């Protein structure tokens, strides 16, 4: 693969996309779309991971002699200014990392903001206030996109985690601001996912958890055509278990998807995919209650629900992973936020780390579980993306990537 470029995934075959590393940035103003959508508690940042992973592209642009107009959304202010979703704390934290003051433009498309952007000198940085304070952002409004485009000379998208959204700062702006290139983080995310989907070292194993099958129908369907091993835990496992005729008590089940679950189980058998479901579970009256012990996954009492995989399930999952050379994981296999039901997910994280396989973990909850297990440094790639990660694995085209300039 050529330096500074990446090949598009299977859903976007053709030429690769331009990278920020391909651009001559000296003296240019760069509109850098990042995902700085960090969690806040009373205007205090509780996790700055998304800021830290954005720094390499910011620093690359500044060192290359560019000035940077930095943009992001934060939360869901519903198209109107709301001080609860101000990027002021983000400006402060970015400044702390860069050891410089980072001014915050109070409005992302005001005439005063245009003057601020045009006054930037090489090596200087301006952060725009929350893009979603304007309804035109989520509507991909043409005039709003045009106004954003006036702020810079070229465009860089480093917000992979938002690139499944056809929003103005991700798609519409590229009609008015060219070239449009991939940032370093976005490039790494796409390359890691491409390693999973297009050129995995086999056997390829996938671990799926989380609450609902309905949220991951397309993902399961796509992975069944690609993986050798599929481990299913979390709430979504109980729809599959009920489809097999097991008693699952009050566990989360999507009755409307029982036939689809049966279909997936049949596809797995026909394709020779090793599909593992829990054989035992930790049960309780509900996620807020106490654990009531471990029972066989098909014999859950009527008044209880499965809330974590049990030790026998963990042993089977761990054994399946010993054969894997590539692992992709999305979704915890229990209610890991509660200590009573965290052991399965935490121990599975340690098994993934110890497997020796190239591993990629995506989604906020799953990445949090990896850190809770203390094995983050032993995972091949941790993705901060949630929805974009899933849609990419489903084989869907992401609008924010499709909009970038083709190389060549």
CA angle, 187 then 10 then 358, to 5°: 60
Q: What residues contact residue 357 under an 8 Å CB cut-off, 6+ apart?
A: 201, 205, 321, 324, 325, 326, 327, 380
Q: For the chain, give percent helix, strand, coil, nearest 5.
A: 40, 20, 40
Active-site residue identified among 212, 250, 274, 396? 212
Reference 162, options 11, 386, 395; nearest CA is 386
Active-site residue identified among 95, 298, 364, 380? 364
Active-site residue identified among 4, 289, 387, 395? 387
378 is catalytic: no
Residue 25, helix vs strand vs coil: coil
Strand segments (E) across 298-346: 299-300, 305-309, 326-330
- How far apart are alpha carbons 20 and 59 in whole angstroms? 12
364 is catalytic: yes
Q: Residue 408: in which H helix or E strand, if any?
A: none
270 is catalytic: no
387 is catalytic: yes
Largest CA distance in the chain: 69
Active-site residue identified among 50, 132, 242, 407? 50
- How far apart are alpha carbons 187 and 400 in whole angstroms? 12
Identify whether the C-beta of residue 207 lies closer than 8 Å to the C-beta of residue 175.
no
CA angle, 234 then 278 then 262, to 5°: 85
Active site residues: 50, 212, 364, 387
């Amino acid at each position: 693969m050529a330096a500074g470029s990446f090949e598009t995934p299977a859903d976007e075959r053709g030429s690769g996309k331009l990278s920020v590393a391909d651009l001559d940035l000296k003296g240019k103003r760069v509109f850098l779309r990042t995902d700085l959508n960090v969690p806040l508690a009373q205007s205090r940042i509780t996790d700055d991971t998304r800021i830290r992973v954005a720094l390499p592209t910011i620093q690359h642009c500044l060192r290359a002699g560019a000035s940077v107009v930095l943009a992001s959304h934060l939360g869901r202010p519903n198209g109107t200014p709301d001080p609860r979703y101000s990027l002021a704390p983000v400006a402060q934290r970015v400044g702390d990392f860069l050891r410089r003051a980072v001014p915050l433009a109070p409005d992302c498309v005001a005439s005063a903001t245009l003057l601020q952007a045009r006054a930037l000198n090489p090596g200087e940085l301006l952060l725009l206030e929350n893009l979603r304070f304007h309804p035109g952002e989520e509507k991909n409004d043409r005039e709003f996109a045009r106004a954003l485009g006036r702020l810079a000379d070229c465009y860089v998208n480093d917000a992979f985690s938002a690139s499944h959204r056809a929003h103005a700062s991700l798609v519409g702006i590229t009609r008015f601001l060219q070239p449009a290139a991939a940032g370093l983080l976005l490039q790494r995310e796409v390359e890691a996912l491409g390693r999973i989907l297009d050129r995995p070292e086999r056997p390829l194993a996938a671990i799926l958890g989380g609450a609902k099958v309905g949220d991951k129908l397309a993902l399961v369907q796509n992975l069944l055509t690609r993986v050798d091993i599929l481990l299913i835990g979390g709430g979504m496992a109980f729809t599959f278990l009920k489809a097999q005729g097991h008693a699952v008590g009050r566990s989360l089940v999507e009755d409307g998807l029982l036939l689809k679950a049966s279909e997936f189980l049949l596809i797995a058998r026909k394709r020779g995919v090793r599909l593992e479901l829990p054989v035992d579970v930790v049960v309780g009256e509900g996620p807020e209650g106490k654990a009531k012990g471990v029972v066989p996954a098909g014999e859950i009492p009527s008044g209880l629900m499965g809330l974590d995989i049990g030790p026998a399930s963990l042993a089977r999952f761990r054994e399946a992973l010993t054969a894997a050379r590539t692992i992709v994981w999305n979704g915890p296999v229990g209610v890991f936020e509660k200590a009573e039901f965290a052991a399965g997910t935490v121990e599975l994280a340690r098994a993934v780390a110890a497997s020796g396989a190239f591993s990629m973990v995506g989604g906020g909850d799953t990445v949090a579980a990896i850190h809770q297990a203390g094995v983050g440094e032993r995972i091949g790639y941790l993705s901060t993306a949630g929805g974009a990660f899933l849609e990419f694995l489903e084989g869907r085209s992401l609008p924010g990537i499709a909009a970038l300039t083709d190389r060549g």
